[in-house]
A and B are shown apart, each in its own frame.
Chain A
């Protein structure tokens, strides 16, 4: 297989891939709220023990530990 044909094929495949990805992304955006498959959460979002503060801003500087 010669270089020009291989290059042409790669570019066509790349463009088709971009178009398909964008179409899928736009359909996904239209039909459901975007939720990533993996995301980094905070500890208090994963484990909640009654009595924990719900917001970081609630921290009181005067409180002694």
Chain B
């Protein structure tokens, strides 16, 4: 994907705005925004510069056409959806950017600079994320009625599984293989309570040890897209989420079979 040039000042031409909006859309949808959010943000930006915009949002591409209000000089671009991890931070900042443009707080050249900064400066500490995911999953265990021992076991299982996930994804291993491996490892470690009979809620420990792998955002986004009649994107996201859930189940079942845990 090309970077935007910074020669444009004040009000952009249709060409410049179309290029900016295509990159903006590619990043916004790539970092986990719903189709309706993308539509609203893009229309808001285009309206701020007195232009009209039409979008076709596909699962892997966004097709944008920008017109002057007089319906002359139309420009169309197609952008591939950015291949980036889901980031609410980028999502929020891009939405704020659209409001700042709409409120005329920044001009176009500042907006392009700001956009560049948003997409390049999003660095999250992997250790911080690892710690927070571990705490969140242990809390889930407590919510489902797990005791302190179950919470500790879930924390360790999550720590190991998520650490493995970070390593595998950093080596560009397929996400489906990664989810199977991580759920398998977490299920085996989550079954510690059952294996050594050290707690009172072993089934809860095992069940909640893989919850961190549930693709919640794709499920929620697919539901949102369906409500707003973006059926193609909704179906695509739903299928993605179902595939990941199946992978999670494969790992969990494999772990349960090897640990001689009931249900089968």
Question: A residues near B, CB below 8 A?
Answer: 2-5, 7-8, 11-12, 14-15, 18-19, 22
Contact = CB atoms under 8 A, between A and B. Distances in A.
Contacts of A19: 163
A6 B60 CA distance: 44
Given A4-B259, A18-B167, A11 B195 contact: no
Contact of A11 (B163, B189, B260): B189
A15 B161 CA distance: 9
B192 interface: yes
Contacts, number: 33
A17 B143 CA distance: 32
A4 B185 CA distance: 13
Contact of B160 (A4, A5, A7, A15): A15
Q: Sorted from nearest, which 4 A-B pairs have the closest CB atoms?
A: A11-B188, A7-B258, A4-B259, A15-B160
Interface residues of B, number: 13
Contacts of B195: 4-5, 8
Contacts of B192: 8
Nearest to B161: A15
Contacts of A8: 188-189, 191-192, 195, 259
Contact of A7 (B163, B164, B167, B259): B259
A51 to B, nearest CB: 44
Interface in B232-250: none
Contacts of B191: 4, 8
Interface in B177-198: 185, 188-189, 191-192, 195
Contacts of B189: 8, 11-12, 15
A12 B161 CA distance: 11
B100 to A, nearest CB: 39
A5 B195 CA distance: 7
Given A4-B191, A8-B192, 18 more contacts: A2-B260, A3-B258, A3-B260, A4-B195, A4-B258, A4-B259, A5-B195, A7-B188, A8-B188, A8-B191, A8-B195, A11-B189, A14-B185, A15-B163, A15-B164, A15-B189, A18-B167, A19-B163
A51 B225 CA distance: 69
Among the interface residues A11, A14, A15, which one has the most CB atoms of the partner chain B within 10 A? A11
A59 B191 CA distance: 64
Contacts of B258: 3-4, 7
Nearest to A16: B160
A7 B259 CA distance: 7
A5 B260 CA distance: 10
